[in-house]
Amino acid sequence: MSDNLIEVKNLQTHFFTNEGVIKAIDGVDFNIPRGKTLCVVGESGCGKSVTARSILQIVDPPGRIVGGDILFHPTPDREINLAQLNPRGAEIRDIRGKDITMIFQEPMTALSPLYTIGNQIIEAVRWHLPLTKQEARERAIEALGVVGIPRPHELIDAYTFELSGGMRQRAMIAMALVCEPKLLIADEPTTALDVTTQANILDLIANLQRDMGMSVMFITHDLGVVAEVAHEVAVMYLGTIVEYGPVETIFSDPKHPYTRALLRSIPHLNPRRKTRLAAIRGMVPHPLNRPGGCSFHTRCNYAVAGVCDSFVPPWTPIDRTRFVRCFLYDSEHPIKSQVIETPPDTSGDLTRETAQNRQPLLDVHDLKMHFPITSGFFNRVVGHVKAVDGVSFTIHEGETLGLVGESGCGKTTLGHAIMRLYTPTAGEVHYYGDKPADLAKLNNRELKLYHREIRMIFQDPHSSLNPRLPVLEIVGEALKVNGLAQGRELETRVRDLLAKVGLRPEYIRRYPHAFSGGERQRIGIARALAPNPRLVVADEPVSALDVSVQAQILNLLKDLQTEFGLTYLFISHDLNVVSHISDRVAVMYVGKIVELAPTQTLFERPRHPYTEALLSAVLKPDPSLRRSSQRIHLEGDVADPANPPPGCAFHPRCRYAKDLCRIETPALRPIGDGQLAACHFADELALAGAHIPEHITP
Amino acid sequence: MAQYIIKRFLYMIPTVIAISIVSFIIINLPPGDFVDRLVVERQQSGEVITEEEEEGFREIYGLDKPLPIQYVDWISDVVLRGEFGYSFRWNRPVEELIWQRLLLTFFLSLSTLAFIWAVAIPIGVYSAVRKYSLGDYFVTFLGFIGLATPSFLIALVLLYISFKYFGQSVGGLFSPEYVDAPWSIDKFLDLLSHLWIPIVILGTAGTAGLIRTLRANLLDELRRPYVTTARTKGLPEYWLLIKYPLRHALNPFVSSLNDVFVGLVSGETIVAIVLSLQTTGPLLLDALRTQDMYLAGSFILLLSLLAVIGTLFSDLLLAWLDPRIRFP
Amino acid sequence: MTEAQFPINTPEAVGAIKVDHGYVAASQRKLIWWKFRKHRLAMLGGIVTFMFYFVALFAEFFAPSAPDQYASNYTYAPPQTLHLFNDGKFSPYVNGYTIEIDYNAGRRNFVVDPEIQHPVGFFVKGSPYKILGLIETNIRLLGPINEGDPMYLMGADRLGQDVLSRTIYGSRISMTIGLVGVTFSLFFGILLGGISGYFGGWIDNVIQRLIEFLQSIPSIPLWIGLAAAIPVDVPPLYVYFLITVILSVIGWTGLARVVRGKFYALKTEDFVKAARLDGCSSLRIIFHHMVPSFTSHIIAVVTLAIPGMIIAETSLSFLGIGLRPPINSWGVLLQEAQNIRSISTAPWLLFVPGIAVVISVLALNFLGDGLRDAADPYT
């Protein structure tokens, strides 16, 4: 008899590689209660996915389960040990797809583009249930309807590439649910989606879970998602679970130092206090270099020499529902930690004077960036993608302007156009440096001078560093080609720059492959700073990084801003990050800025319905706020910038839309307090802001 | 789909025109024309041809006109009347000489293609699924040898072996009694019994190449997330292997179909010469050596056309197989 | 991506593992070399390829006799075995021949006669030559000690010429025609592929159509057509040159595609954008930032293109429309093995140059494969 659908006991999954045995999962214990959601949370490389795959016995070679039990109870009195089944045998295959199903992060690659979604769903049905083709098809259509796919009768015959990202993930979910499984394993199912779509999918999974009474194992790196969907939480670090318990207590009273640190390192949606983030030092080591003893001791503030680095902490119960793997709570030999928890560093309160009092540094006026769509042998132009379509804003000296929007809204193109990586179709980009100029009109030679003062940080720390060049040449290139430094002097300056961004100066001769993602991003920042710029365009600089590293980089950017008086244009899709770093925020939708305001104003009193919807979709890392505000569901997809709807581009998804919105395009206009909004009814609508807690718990 | 087919056909037109021009240029590359050659030949046999007579010949054969006009004359006869010109060497219209040989070439290439697929697919799949097994190493090794050996060398070795150990020649497509016989069931069966040797010789390199390509593609595809998805659905390994990775791996396979086919048409030329097959190869070589321009030009034109049609066919097949191409 | 693609191969993962081996300080070139070195077949291929070119370069030293040295009294003499020891002493010799008259066929047959011993030696004096065309000498690696003694380790041909020597000399032409042809191809490939990839637009479109067109023509008929147009009285050097040009007509297209593809892929890489923002000129971006990223790929593709050229030359010459005597190449040698009669009387005419072709092509393929894998040291 068991209340748990799954009980995992001392699970070990190892990868036998040429370099050595990687203990991806090394002694994991957890339960998945019947009809509840378990969230497994941790940074990349901690073994979350491998745990999930071990349950279904689909770990790719050279990995395999080497020990432990996975007890599966299809009914309370039956027990099957999944860990002991033959991975290719009929028994496990009967369970896969029927009792336990799985969905993945990227439905575009997880579904085959060569078959219709219907084909791939019906296949699963027919394999497990004694249904005819027609019955199976009807069942598939029903499932597609349940997951909210419009016109399921037609779309069952669609191919994956004909659907949007959100629809694809819905189809994937339909495929997983069609046989009414007892357990759904969801491996980062919303990570690749925009916030608004993510909110819809999370709600869908939660509703289905409740209605169908199934269990869900939800894998994510995002604590906001955890707070939103979990009943139970397992926190993973380097192949072990360090803490396990009900979601409320994990968030309100985290025990393990790693859980505490994680919770404190995420930027909260809190535009009022500009505190430094409490970053975890260092990075997750590679599993081959797993530190001995407690694997977290190298990054832990509580670690006690001679204990934590020598012995593996036992799996200690705190109470009936909670377990932790840390010597602090060991019932037999609890350690007395010398380090008291360092209070959050609030010394550098970075909220500064309002932007209005400062000099404008960059003035963008009616900027347009259209890309021709060509077709046929002669490259006939058949249309234009209006990626940026009439954008105007000003950045003041020393401020950070955040630019947010969902993917495809044109924010990256805007950044590139300002940098003149593209030649704008129309508009002006006035830069008020030592020699004011309209950057949009300059030729390449004239731009060279300005490219010293305006620099860029790229999103992908891997593709932005040339793998063939050593750090010295990467960071020093701008100094060298502009004749600012040479030889010894160049080397000294690059060493200084490395020290500034927190890297050891002796790394100067190393090549990019020797660095981790976070370190590479630091190199990218050093490169941007090399010629002493005034303005830095940062294009999603932290979105490719883990939470703990993200906090380090955000802190670094803030410190550098203070030290050098930099001005930032900070592009991001993550409202939490933007609210943390920006003085003012601009919201983009289909090539246009729809709202621009000081951060606090924008988050507390949004004046555009799109901003309101975005804010409502942001997940707060606090389970007590779950569904406290009724979330706004945006219907449909982001409009196609090649063929935007007439009038206000947002009107098809706007719940306040009136006739005027379908005809007339609203202009971005001031509505007081330095706030601008592009909505006909900005003055009339009473829109809800983000719920900002007075006190953040951990 | 219909739109795609039409578009594909339209794309073919400039290629075909370009091919006809190239064929014509090749014909006219060698210095001197047929009449010059004729004069030399007649002189050797003691005849004397006056310049007037020479001009007369040129006029008859249309060789006195400027090249572009010669080209237009030639191509319009080809297109409108199916007349490819006159073979001076054989004293017969070209079309009488080429069709049967072209048909045999086509048949041989197509059979070889079928052979390549029939052999390469199962071996490639085996090789990928049992990666680094003894069988895989063996196949890989054979594949390398197959790729490294020019087909005419294989043909020669086979000739040597059959002569040395079986005391017979393996050349030709027909037994002597059928060479000039009209087409009949017996002749066709005789053809089939001879055909396997050139097929194996011609197909070796292609098979080796295709096994390697399929193995590499399949290894890539086996790692794709949709394979894992299929596995989570509880499908058995053999089923999901065929339905997903193999099916995906076949797409680049189909798109390389054309290259393989062109390679076969091309390789056939030289193997046919070694094995003295009654296909296009030997006649083409002979025509080029003797500057029998209309015959040579027609061969190059038609062989290239064959290749273009092969491309068309493989593109259409790919569009039929891959919805991503079918949907614009 | 999900974590199941475990970060085994990601740079930081490898970096973490190999800290002790100087991995972190290694340049990309070193990484490529390390990866290549692990590929045993490729190493073997590289060594064999090097040996072939080395022998080709010093053909006069390695070949027992000059290629045109003939002896009509040893027509179609079969291969002799090289005996290194005589009565337990190191004293290399070969057996001589006796003549048997085949009255049925009406010809003389040479048979190796174990009774006759011709002493041979290493570093013997032979016909004079110049090393690399500079230093005059007459030392050859191996040869008969008494001048005029027959030594046909791989048999003789119709004119009594030593097949081994001819094959060694022939490697000069056959191995270099690949190199020269690839150089031509590379020039056109990089030029047109680079133009296509850098400018894009209609130029790209036109070049792409041209490539598609050239690739759609069956290559051997095209080559035959072009080669047949070379007049018979053209000097040998020109023929060599023209044949390489003809081979390159098709050869450049594949390279152009690779170059274009790389240009396109790199153009959108962030580090190229970063270089532009650093103020680099177009030339510096191309040659300092882009080209080094794909030279290793190009080298691999080029290496893989050479064997195709070798096979093509051999095929054309074999048909009698490529190189012709007195030029000496493997294809020219194989011409003599064209009919079944000569193959059956003297199979070494087929097998000696044939095996040379197969081994060199095999070695180059292995080498190219290894280079291609190593070109991207992170995967």
pLDDT tens-place string over residues A548-586: 788 889 999 999 999 999 999 999 988 888 988 999 999
User: What count of CB pairs under 8 Å joins A to B?
Assistant: 73
Domain match, C143 and C88 both = yes
Please report the pLDDT score of residue C116 as a whole number.
79
Mean pLDDT of A209-231: 90
Contact A97 B234 (CB under 8 A): yes
C144, two tokens: 């008969």
Chain A hits for B237, Cβ within 8 Å: 88
Mean of pLDDT over chain A = 86
Contact C17 A468 (CB under 8 A): no
Domain match, C214 and C340 both = yes
Per-residue model confidence as pLDDT tens digits over A156-171: 999 888 888 888 888 9
Nearest-CB residue to C220 (from B22, B147, B270): B270
Domain match, C140 and C174 both = no
Percent of all residues in chain A with a pLDDT value above 90, rounded to a whole number: 32
How far is B185 from B166, CA to CA, in rounded Å?
27
Nearest-CB residue to A114 (from B229, B236, B247): B247
Sign of the C-alpha dihedral computed for residues A506, A512, A514 and A519 taken in this order: positive
Q: How many other C-beta atoms can be found within 10 angstroms of the C-beta atom of residue C84?
A: 11
Give residues 102 to 161 of A whose Cβ lies within 8 Å of B.
102, 104, 106, 109-114, 123-124, 127-128, 159, 161
CB A434 within 8 Å of CB A517: no
Percent of all residues in chain C with a pLDDT value above 70, rounded to a whole number: 92
Domain match, C283 and C144 both = no
Chain C hits for B223, Cβ within 8 Å: 5
Q: How many other C-beta atoms can be found within 10 angstroms of the C-beta atom of residue A204?
A: 18
Chain C's closest residue to B11, CA to CA, is C209
Q: What strand order describes the sheet that includes C83-86?
A: C83-86, C89-102, C107-131, C135-144
Instruction: Tell me the three state secondary structure of residue C93.
Output: strand
Q: Return the higher-pLDDT residue of C293 and A254.
A: A254
Give me the residue label for tokens 């010629």: A531
Tell me the domains of chain B and their CATH numbers: 16-83 (no CATH), 104-321 (1.10.3720.10)
Chain A hits for C278, Cβ within 8 Å: 451, 477-478, 481-482, 527
A299, two tokens: 């990054």
- Choose the final residue of a domain: C128, C151, C174: C151
How far is A178 from A149, CA to CA, in rounded Å?
14
Within a domain: C217: yes
CB A234 within 8 Å of CB A39: yes
CB A576 within 8 Å of CB A603: no
Please report the pLDDT score of residue A692 as a whole number.
61
How far is A519 from B160, CA to CA, in rounded Å?
66
CB C46 within 8 Å of CB C367: yes
Q: Return the higher-pLDDT residue of A531 and B263.
A: A531
Q: What is the DSSP string of C134-164?
A: TEEEEEEEEEESSTT----TT-B-TTS-BHH
Chain C hits for B144, Cβ within 8 Å: 362, 365-366
Contacts of B177 (CB under 8 A, 6+ apart): none
CB A327 within 8 Å of CB A304: yes
Per-residue model confidence as pLDDT tens digits over B241-254: 888 888 888 877 77
A197, two tokens: 């779509």
Domain match, C106 and C176 both = no
Nearest-CB residue to C201 (from A24, A285, A379): A379
> Among candidates A227, A166, A177, which has minimal Cα distance to A201?
A166
Nearest-CB residue to B152 (from C212, C318, C343): C318
> Among candidates A644, A636, A657, which has minimal Cα distance to A200?
A636
Q: How many domains does chain C have?
A: 2
Give residues 563 to 582 of A whose Cβ lies within 8 Å of C.
none
The pTM score is 0.80
Please report the pLDDT score of residue A378 as a whole number.
61
Chain C hits for B263, Cβ within 8 Å: 218-219
Domain match, C284 and C337 both = yes
Within a domain: C47: no
Domain match, C282 and C143 both = no
Domain match, C142 and C256 both = no
How far is A223 from A202, CA to CA, in rounded Å?
13
CB A588 within 8 Å of CB A404: yes
Neighbouring chains of A at 3+ CB pairs under 8 Å are: B, C
Taking every pair of Cα atoms in chain C, the longest distance, rounded to a whole number of angstroms, is 87
Q: Smallest CA–CA separation between C17 and chain A, in Å? A: 7
Residue A134 pLDDT class (50, 70, 90 cuts): very high
Contact A127 B234 (CB under 8 A): yes
User: What's the complex ipTM?
Assistant: 0.81
Please report the pLDDT score of residue C174 as a whole number.
87
Say yes or no to pLDDT of B77 above 50: yes
Within a domain: C12: no
Domain match, C173 and C142 both = no
B107, two tokens: 């048949």
Say yes or no to pLDDT of A406 above 60: yes
Q: Which of A578-592, B92-106, B284-298 has the highest mean pLDDT?
A: A578-592
Give me the residue label for tokens 């009387």: C345
Please report the pLDDT score of residue A185 as a whole number.
94
Substitution target from C41, C205, C216 for chain B, most B beta carbons within 10 A:
C216
Q: Return the higher-pLDDT residue of A398 and B183.
A: A398
Please report the pLDDT score of residue C8 as a whole number.
34
Domain match, C220 and C340 both = yes
Q: Smallest CA–CA separation between A133 and chain B, in Å? A: 17
Give residues 469 to 508 of A whose Cβ lies within 8 Å of C.
469-470, 474, 477-478, 481-482
Element (H, E) at A183: strand A183-187
Percent of all residues in chain B with a pLDDT value above 70, rounded to a whole number: 94
**Residues spanned by the domain of C295:** 166-374
Contact C1 A509 (CB under 8 A): no
- Answer whether B158 touches C (CB < 8 Å): no
Chain A's closest residue to C201, CA to CA, is A379
Mean pLDDT of B147-151: 84
Chain A's closest residue to B11, CA to CA, is A377
Contact C344 B163 (CB under 8 A): yes
H, E, C per residue of B25-60: HHHHCCCCCHHHHHHHHHHHCCCCCCHHHHHHHHHH
Chain C hits for B228, Cβ within 8 Å: 4
Residue type, A644: P
Within a domain: C160: no
Q: Return the higher-pLDDT residue of B43 and C284.
A: C284
Residue type, A624: S
Chain A's closest residue to C25, CA to CA, is A510
User: Residues spanned by CATH 3.40.50.300 within chain A?
Assistant: 348-447+534-698
CB A227 within 8 Å of CB A251: yes
Chain B hits for C216, Cβ within 8 Å: 15, 19, 258, 262, 304, 307-308, 311
- Answer whether B153 touches C (CB < 8 Å): yes
∠ Cα A600 A605 A611 (to 5°): 95
- Answer whether B269 touches C (CB < 8 Å): yes
- Answer whether B95 touches C (CB < 8 Å): no
A640, two tokens: 């196609």
Neighbouring chains of C at 3+ CB pairs under 8 Å are: A, B
- Choose the final residue of a domain: C101, C120, C151: C151
Q: What is the DSSP string of B215-252?
A: HHHHHHHHTSHHHHHHHHTT--HHHHHIIIIIHHHHHH
Give residues 518 to 537 of A whose Cβ lies within 8 Å of C.
524, 527
Per-residue model confidence as pLDDT tens digits over A73-98: 988 888 889 888 888 888 888 899 88
Q: How far is CA B1 from CA A27, A190, B182, B318, in A?
A: 55, 35, 42, 12
Q: Return the higher-pLDDT residue of C122 and A275.
A: C122
Contact C224 B269 (CB under 8 A): yes
Chain B hits for C345, Cβ within 8 Å: none
> Among candidates A129, A142, A120, which has minimal Cα distance to A181?
A129
How far is A291 from B41, CA to CA, in rounded Å?
91
Please report the pLDDT score of residue C15 as a whole number.
36
Please report the pLDDT score of residue B95 as a whole number.
81
Q: How far is CA A673 from CA A567, A596, A598, B208, C369, in A?
A: 22, 11, 8, 74, 66
| Residue spans of chain C under pLDDT 50 | 1-21
- Answer whether B318 touches C (CB < 8 Å): no
Sign of the C-alpha dihedral computed for residues A90, A95, A98 and A103 taken in this order: negative
CATH of A348-447+534-698, one of 3.40.50.300, 3.40.50.720, 3.30.413.10, 3.40.50.1970: 3.40.50.300
Q: What is the CATH number of the domain that holds C304?
A: 1.10.3720.10
Residue B163 class from Cβ within 10 Å (0-12 exposed, 13-18 middle, 19+ buried)? middle
Please report the pLDDT score of residue C22 as a whole number.
61
Please report the pLDDT score of residue A696 as a whole number.
44
Say yes or no to pLDDT of B140 above 60: yes
Say yes or no to pLDDT of A346 above 70: no
Per-residue model confidence as pLDDT tens digits over B255-293: 777 778 878 877 888 888 888 888 888 888 888 777 777
Domain match, C173 and C231 both = yes
Within a domain: C125: yes
Chain A hits for B234, Cβ within 8 Å: 93-98, 124, 127-128
Give residues 24 to 43 of B whose Cβ lies within 8 Å of C.
26, 29-31
> Among candidates A72, A75, A111, which has minimal Cα distance to A95?
A72
Nearest-CB residue to A22 (from C2, C6, C202): C6
Q: Return the higher-pLDDT residue of A367 and C332.
A: A367
Q: Smallest CA–CA separation between B119 and chain C, in Å? A: 22
Say yes or no to pLDDT of A349 above 50: no
Please report the pLDDT score of residue A392 as a whole number.
93
Chain B's closest residue to A103, CA to CA, is B229
DSSP state of C285: I
CB A287 within 8 Å of CB A22: yes
Within a domain: C58: no
